[in-house]
Amino acid sequence: MSIHAGTTLGGRYVLRSLLAVGGMGEVWRGEDSELGRPVAVKVLKEHAAANETFLKRFRNEARNAAGLIDDRIAQVFDYGDQEHTAYLVMELVEGEPLSTIIERERTLPEARIGTILAQTARGLDVAHRAGVMHRDVKPGNLIIREGDLVKITDFGVSRSHDQTTLTQTGMVMGTAQYLAPEMALGKPATAASDLYALGIIAYECVVGKRPFTAATAVDIAIAHVNEDVPALPASVSPAMAGLITDLLEKNPRKRPRSGAELAERIESMTLSPSLNTATAASAPSTPSAPSADTSGEQPRSRGNVPQRRMPPTIAPKSFRPRPDVSRGR
């Protein structure tokens, strides 16, 4: 069906203005005419709705997010299908994505980073305790509201313990720049996988760029598995440097145990409320490589160079984490 301003879905959700466009769908500012409240409506694009894998992901987002009630998670209100157009009705969050803030400011004060990380960690802990792994934690999915309050959005590639995987053999879900090594190796996502992504975000916020970049998404994923994390500037405080180092451990069993544990650690740290000029000066003058979402897509070619599928043994044995094995302390 044709989607435009004024379209009404489900007999009650009136679309007002387009907020964002992604590979799978569009997000509209809308109004729930029954309750008289503003909402956000995610509409699955026609080609995605015709793809059973994308449709399952969309339904998973509705099911998984609807069961998570927390101030730090954008609430899902409703799900429907009208004339073969699937849509998701969500809480309308007023704010801007962390990705926009990073693009504008390049680096952030450590105290502000800590505030954002701690809130996100607590929100993720709610999801993890409910058995839901986000699997695509990145700045674009963290909406920052007034007072640096965080809302986690887009559980589109999330998975709960009672759902079968939608990942095809040799493929991974999530965004390559924030992908945990175990996920790059095709292993199941765990809470530690989401926390690894927070480590990448923290690194990006203090350095001004992501630790791993390459020409293709697969090359970036391989780097997460095989390459050491680039050294942090000396201007980064020992507390923040230690936190990032622990979050970016290749082995998930060596990362913080949970989002709650991570939040408590951050809240106990003393971090500077001002931006360190030495760190800001070390930020690159050119933008980082654009985010490459590999979720459910076939590898693409770049020029005449074919993009590789992820082989199962790209890492030495010492770097092949086992998230399915309980960690001992």
3-state helix, strand, coil in the chain (%, to 5): 35, 20, 45
Question: d(Cα 184, Cα 223) in Å, to the nearest integer?
Answer: 9
Active site residue 136: yes
Q: Which residues contact 66 (CB under 8 A, 6 or more apart)?
A: 75, 76, 79
What secondary structure letter does DSSP report for 295? T
Catalytic residue among 32, 125, 136, 154: 136
**Three-state SS at 180:** coil
> How far is 199 from 306, CA to CA, in rounded Å?
30
Rg (CA), the chain: 20
Q: How many CA atoms lie within 13 A of 329 on its CB side?
A: 6
Which residue, 217, 215, 226, 213, is CA-closest to 284?
A: 213
Structure tokens at 65: 């997010």
**Residue whose pair of structure tokens reads 């599928």 in the numeric block:** 309
How far apart (Å, rounded) are the C-alpha atoms in residues 45 and 25?
5
The answer to whether 3 and 13 are in contact (CB under 8 A) is: no
The pair phi, psi for residue 153, each rounded to 5°, is: -125, 175
Q: What is the distance between the alpha carbons of residues 109 and 286, in angstroms, rounded to a whole number? A: 21
Please give the Cα distance from 187 to 183 (Å, whole number): 5
Residue 25 is given by DSSP the state E
Q: In what order do the strands lie in the sheet with 142-145?
A: 96-97, 142-145, 149-152
Residue type at position 183: M
Catalytic residues: 136
